[in-house]
Amino acid sequence: MILRQPLRYLSRCKNFERFLKVNPWARRAASRFVAGESRDEALRVAAELNREGFKVTLDYLGEEVTRSEEARLAAEEQAAAVEAAAVAKLDLGLSVKLSHLGVLIDEGLAEENLRMICQRAAAAGRFVRVDMEGSNLTSGTLAMVQRVHEDLPVIGTVIQSALKRSSADIETLNRRGISVRLVKGAYLEPSDLAFQRREEITLYFMRLTESLFRDGYRPAIATHEDLLIDYAIDMAFIYGRAPEEFEFQMLYGIRRDLQEKLRDQGYRVRIYLPYGSDWYGYFMRRLAERPANLWFLLRHLRN
């Protein structure tokens, strides 16, 4: 789709971000995908989703921070949020991004922050998943997750089927018993590293799904595409995986019909629930995935 690349480009454009973030209509449009700006709002929505039979992974929005203090504050917010969720007895884990924890400033700082979050999540009996960002961070993220997992096995990560390296990465994670969330990949990547055609990304997703159901620990299949969900259900059958041994994950505000259908069929469904004031990059990636959403934004901007 012709609008996809410009939207992905805009997701990193600071001037457009400044324009959209002060626009109340854009904020209203973003609220379709984001629980709210505060932790309390997010936990309220999480409680509602739990009541409806969905699990939650909470994402405190933010990425590519450039100041150590900002990274420390972000880590503290995430640890405090998971503790608050445990006190409220919510069925909720965390999704974190290493660039939010300061990896672009200093890898040691990000690892320190990640370990602190995992220690507090472990004490609260909760799971932490490290999201996968652009391909410049793939190797570092996988290495850090493996190091932290040795001491704190409450951590998992994400593999993108757009990246050609992913089959080897999944084998490594499977061998180490690290849980993988499989996604297509939301970042613009060069053709030497990543498949560019939708069909190739979908086919590779299927191949990786099979590898996860055959050898993986607690696979999470994160897609809204019916074909890939049906394929995962077939793989679960073929490899004898009971519904409580894997889960489907979907984004808040997307394919609600499918979320409910899978839940009603007895599958575990976890909703990725973002919150925080730094919603711009996340929101723009959701527009890029489905440029038809652009009309939804424009409608709000006009009203």
* Residues in binding contact with ligand FDA, number by CB under 6 A: 23
**Two tokens at 203?**
């086919």
Complex with ligand FDA: residue 33 or 213, whichever CB lies closer: 33
Q: Assign 86 to helix, strand or coil.
A: helix
281 assigned binding-site residue: no
Please tell me whether residue 283 binds ligand FDA under the rule CB under 6 A. Answer: no
Please tell me whether residue 131 binds ligand FDA under the rule CB under 6 A. Answer: yes
35: which DSSP letter? -
For the CB of residue 209, give the shortest distance to ligand FDA in the complex, in Å. 12
Complex with ligand FDA: residue 225 or 234, whichever CB lies closer: 225
Neighbours of 29 (CB within 10 A): 23
Stretch that binds ligand FDA, among 42-50, 81-89, 238-246, 288-296 (CB under 6 A): 288-296
DSSP output for 148-213: HHHH-TTEEEEEETTBTTHHHHHHHHHHTT--EEEE---S---TTTB--SHHHHHHHHHHHHHHHH
- Is the Cα dihedral 55, 215, 209, 142 positive or negative? positive
Please tell me whether residue 132 binds ligand FDA under the rule CB under 6 A. Answer: yes
Please say whether the beta carbons of 61 and 279 come within 8 A. yes
**Two tokens at 217?**
């620990």
Q: Assign 136 to helix, strand or coil.
A: helix
| Residue type at position 278 | D
For the CB of residue 133, give the shortest distance to ligand FDA in the complex, in Å. 7
Q: Which of 85, 144, 289, 297 binds ligand FDA (CB under 6 A)?
A: 289
The Cα 88–Cα 47 span in angstroms is: 9
Contact code string over 244-273 relative to ligand FDA, x by CB under 6 A: -----xxx--xx----------------x-
Please tell me whether residue 293 binds ligand FDA under the rule CB under 6 A. Answer: yes
Stretch that binds ligand FDA, among 41-49, 62-70, 168-176, 221-229 (CB under 6 A): 221-229
Please tell me whether residue 284 binds ligand FDA under the rule CB under 6 A. Answer: no
216: which DSSP letter? -
Q: Is 181 a catalytic residue?
A: yes
- Which 160-219 positions form the footprint of ligand FDA (CB under 6 A)? 160, 183-187
Smallest CA-to-CA distance from 209 within 187, 189, 173, 236 is with: 236
Mark the binding-site residues for FAD, compressed into ranges. Answer: 132, 160, 184-186, 223-224
Q: Which residues are tagged catalytic?
A: 131, 181
Query: Interface residues with ligand FDA (CB under 6 A)?
Result: 131-132, 158, 160, 183-187, 222-225, 249-251, 254-255, 272, 286, 289-290, 293
Mark the binding-site residues for substrate, compressed into ranges. Answer: 97, 285-286
